[in-house]
Structure 1
Amino acid sequence: MATLDVRLKKVNKVYKEGDVVAGVVIIQSKGDLAHQGVTLLMEGSVNLQLSAKSVGVFEAFYNSLKPILLLHYTLEVAKPGKFPNGKTEIPFEVPLKAKSNKSLYETYHGVFVNIQYQIKVDMKRSLLNKDLNKQLEFIVEYKETEDRAKPKPINFTITPETLTNLKEKEKVPKFKARGKIDSSLLCITKPLTGEIVLESCETGVKSIEIQLVRVETCGCAEGFAKDATEIQNIQIADGDIMRGLPIPIFMIFPRLFTCPTLTTSNFKVEFEVNVVIIFQDDHLVTENFPIKLTRY
């Protein structure tokens, strides 16, 4: 039996552009292990796909939805030969540098946009033996900049009259909620904070929730497909809450499922926050606030 593994020196696997990605390829075998060479591939790419509702409408997109290659390095780790009995460790170092005319974006796991960086190691073997391979994802984050996220507070009031996306306003009970989001420009490592106060409501309230939404846009010159999907939903109030009581808003941005707001010629990744009030008859109202995420 033989096994192939790859490990990085950095335990957290987080790198910035210009860093050296260093680690070891580990081969373990019982007895001598003949092979046809070991290669290491370091690759970063953006994978785009269309939602089901966009597929028929935008057939022209299929050509523009090929993966966008951000970096691509191939390294010969070992020439064809034999590994001895036991454990063999082969160190490697690869510079984290984008291909010419490309930029490295932060790692992001979305629904229609995925930005991933991987190391793949392959050991070729003779026809009768199965090739061995192993892959490992590492994380890319932006370098620290001088520009810090300066707070851009949002004060809001929600009443039936302020709701723009409501068709049957007469079915919504009379109510008034006010509050604030401390900033619409946010550092991704710090929480979204604020408060909401339900000043009055002629009916009972079931729940108040804060919803984080990703808005992913894929496209080309022929047009764009834009899709909003929920990342997470946090309940901040349960039941028919006391009127006039400030309720704190506090939301941490989940790692990998969010990234700094990103706009390119082929795709965009943006974020929004919804304040959702659900009444006891299960009617709900939503107020939407676009936010911008940065790394610092």
Structure 2
Amino acid sequence: MSVSLDIRLKRANKVYHEGERLSGVLVISTRDALQHQGVSLSLEGLVNLQLSSKSVGVFEAFYNSVKPIQLVSSNMEVVKPGKVPAGKTEIPFEFPLQAKGSKVLYETYHGVFVNIQYTLRCDMRRPLLAKDLSKSCEFMLHSQSVFQPQKPKLSPSPVEFNITPETLQNVKERTSLPKFLIKGHLDATNCAITRPLTGELVVERSEVAIKSIELQLVRVETCGCAEGYARDATEIQNIQIAEGDVCHGLSIPIYMVFPRLFTCPTLETTNFKVEFEVNIVIVLHDDHLITENFPLKLVRV
């Protein structure tokens, strides 16, 4: 017997906010009439935390004290036990999106050590010997709640930078470095997540030919409990903004879009933090790497 389940949300982009209603239809397609023991829908929002391999063993208490954090959980029976007719059956549903108790619905975020995910799952229980059916669907939650219509104020914070051998940190033999001067600015380090990071960079002089100039977006995830915290930085994306030995004195635009799912508004809670940084990386022809780091604060406006 051919049978399938599908969850179709009303919004094509699957983006919702706290306080709204998650609505759509459940589609059951079957070639023949189908006996079942009931169809249910469950909504769940979870924060999953894990430690990097370098921190395993250091924070054994972490494993015992931090379980997945449940933000929202709701169940409903959509169809009572009975029969579904042959063909396509559409069953409408609606869930309120409200956090449990005093909890907050954080924005959807797919990280390495922190994951914030919202899923809708449909289960159809079948009689003996017939396999139960299930279907899951992830939807996105954005942090601007209908309960908090006031938008956070975003004041631009331009940052000027000059990169020379003297400004570099973690360098043992500064005298062996070639001479260079790279100037520029970022238009803001307080960034709206829906707008690109912009600025410009100028290579004023460099004794060694430049191979490449790159923008590296980094996530800094902190997990832990009272016994200790593990902080790990990992790359989200790397964009090349210049290749080869660029003309000196020429303005090179800095432009980077924040990727959906892999970034979220900067977040700080008791058990975890999600922060972001951008690195300007200049690769010289002798494969020396020059890196300038800028912490970012992301907000949704």
> So what's the TM-score if we normalise by structure 1?
0.98
Contact 1:47 1:65 in 2 (8 A): no
Task: Indicate whether 1:44 and 2:45 are aligned.
Answer: yes
SS at match of 2:60: coil
The alpha-carbon deviation at position 172 of structure 1 amounts to 2.4
After superposition, where does 1:279-290 map in structure 2 within 5 Å?
A: 279-290=284-295
The alpha-carbon deviation at position 86 of structure 1 amounts to 1.2
Paired position in structure 1 for 2:296: 291
Paired position in structure 1 for 2:16: 15
Task: Indicate whether 1:167 and 2:167 are aligned.
Answer: no
Paired position in structure 2 for 1:61: 62
Task: Indicate whether 1:27 and 2:28 are aligned.
Answer: yes
Match of 1:209 among 205, 210, 214: 214
Task: Indicate whether 1:196 and 2:197 are aligned.
Answer: no
The alpha-carbon deviation at position 246 of structure 1 amounts to 1.2
The alpha-carbon deviation at position 244 of structure 1 amounts to 1.3
Kindly provide the amino acid, as one letter, of the partner of residue 151 in structure 1: P
Paired position in structure 1 for 2:254: 249
The alpha-carbon deviation at position 147 of structure 1 amounts to 2.4
Task: Indicate whether 1:268 and 2:268 are aligned.
Answer: no
The alpha-carbon deviation at position 168 of structure 1 amounts to 3.5
Q: Structure 1: give runs of 5+ residues left out of the alignment.
A: none
Kindly provide the amino acid, as one letter, of the partner of residue 50 in structure 2: Q
C-alpha distance in 2, partners of 1:204/1:210? 19
Paired position in structure 1 for 2:81: 80
SS at match of 1:243: coil
Kindly provide the amino acid, as one letter, of the partner of residue 80 in structure 2: K
C-alpha distance in 1, partners of 2:104/2:5? 31
Task: Indicate whether 1:183 and 2:180 are aligned.
Answer: no
The alpha-carbon deviation at position 136 of structure 1 amounts to 0.2
SS at match of 1:60: helix
Q: Which moved more, 1:54-63 or 1:130-139?
A: 54-63
The alpha-carbon deviation at position 148 of structure 1 amounts to 2.8
C-alpha distance in 2, partners of 1:229/1:3? 39
Paired position in structure 1 for 2:128: 127
C-alpha distance in 1, partners of 2:65/2:253? 44
The alpha-carbon deviation at position 151 of structure 1 amounts to 0.3
C-alpha distance in 1, partners of 2:136/2:173? 53
**Deviation digits for residues 74-109 of structure 1 (CA, Å, limit 9, x no counterpart):** 010111111111111111110000000210000001
C-alpha distance in 2, partners of 1:167/1:102? 48
> So what's the TM-score if we normalise by structure 2?
0.96
Kindly provide the amino acid, as one letter, of the partner of residue 42 in structure 2: L
Paired position in structure 2 for 1:139: 140
Task: Indicate whether 1:155 and 2:155 are aligned.
Answer: no
SS at match of 2:78: strand
Paired position in structure 2 for 1:236: 241
SS at match of 1:190: coil
Q: Which runs of 4+ in 1 moved over 2 A?
A: 144-148, 165-172
Q: Structure 2: give runs of 5+ residues left out of the alignment.
A: none
C-alpha distance in 1, partners of 2:172/2:62? 33
C-alpha distance in 1, partners of 2:246/2:7? 53
Alpha carbons of 1:171 and 1:36: their partners in 2 closer, same or farther (altered >3 Å)?
farther
